Amino acid sequence: MSTHASDPLAALGSLPGVADSVDSVRKAVDRVYGHRVMRRRSNEITSEAALRGARGSAALSGADWALEEVRRRTDFGGDTEARTVGAALRLSAEAGQLLSIWRQSPLRVLARLHLVAVGDTADLGDSVGRPRQVGEAVGEPLIEAPLPDPAEVAGRLDGLSELIIAGGTAPALVTAAVVHGELLALRPFTSYNGLIARAAERIVLIGSGLDPKSICPAEVGHAEQGRAAYVAAFEGYLSGTPEGMAAWIAHCGRAVELGVRESTAVCEALQRGAA
């Protein structure tokens, strides 16, 4: 069994309150996976969760569109909000395709996520798909914390990658929350860092086996809790204190539970024949 010294993510799992969050999330996920609709129509639930997750992630990045508008639109190459929604939809569709690569090379996956987010609607030159360099600006709504310099970004990305490749005993929720928080803190790319951080959280939750069918969109829950609560919880992550880290993990856990609630409602609607 790994020690906390060699498995720092596992150490976070022992923080006060974190075990309760992990247990609550596990029970919530188990309940929706046990829904009778999941036995027959899980692909529909997965597709709807991807759409709703993308809408939630885009809302946190400043494009708070109604779900039906996201569902209806086909052109996302217009203004900044449209490009943000388009990027979120592409990332949501791509996340489940990158699981095997994530376990071997998380940095390759992050580069791919940036390429997917940018798509063909923006001319960002050679900044696409690689960490930002000295002097490059970062366009990131919502998160106003100081930016680490590129050298620090590179070192911390390497450290995060090593932790993911090594695996360990940490619960999926803890790993997902740390990946999410670290990418928000680093903002390693010139654009779409928030969307990418939330997509990476989704990849961890799927790949860990907690949510293998990707039906528990945490992005929905992050959006439902509101931008102010999201930023406040993230400041806890940035503080690095045990209390702050535990609060961020709990916030991410609540987001998953709200995502479960969303997909449970979809299951109920399908069962009634209303969707």
Bridge partners, 70 (sequence order): none
Which H or E run contains 37?
none
User: Rounded CA gap, 43 and 23, in Å?
Assistant: 26
The pLDDT assigned to 269 comes to: 93
For residues 107-111, give the mean pLDDT: 97
The dihedral built from the CA positions of residue 47, 206, 87 and 269, taken in this order, carries a sign that is positive
* pLDDT tops 50 at residue 1: no
> Binning pLDDT at 50, 70 and 90, where does residue 8 land?
confident
- Mean pLDDT score, 48-61: 97
Q: What is the pLDDT of residues 207-242, one digit of tens each?
A: 999 999 999 999 999 999 999 999 999 999 999 999
Cβ neighbours, 10 Å, residue 99: 15
Contact between 142 and 194 under an 8 Å Cβ cutoff? The reply is yes
Percentage of residues of the chain with pLDDT beyond 70: 95
Question: In the predicted model, is pLDDT for residue 248 greater than 70?
Answer: yes
Q: Tell me the average pLDDT of the chain.
A: 92
pLDDT > 60? residue 4: no
What is the Cα 90 distance to its own chain's centre?
Answer: 14
Q: What is the pLDDT of residue 140?
A: 85
> pLDDT band for position 108 (50/70/90)?
very high
176-213 pLDDT, tens digit per residue, is: 999 999 999 999 999 999 999 999 999 999 999 999 99
The token pair that represents 4 in the structure block: 């906390």
Q: At 5, is the pLDDT very low, low, confident or very high (cuts 50, 70, 90)? A: very low
- Percentage with pLDDT > 90 across the chain: 81
Whether 274 has a pLDDT exceeding 50, the answer reads no
- What pLDDT is attached to residue 214? 96
pLDDT at 209: 94
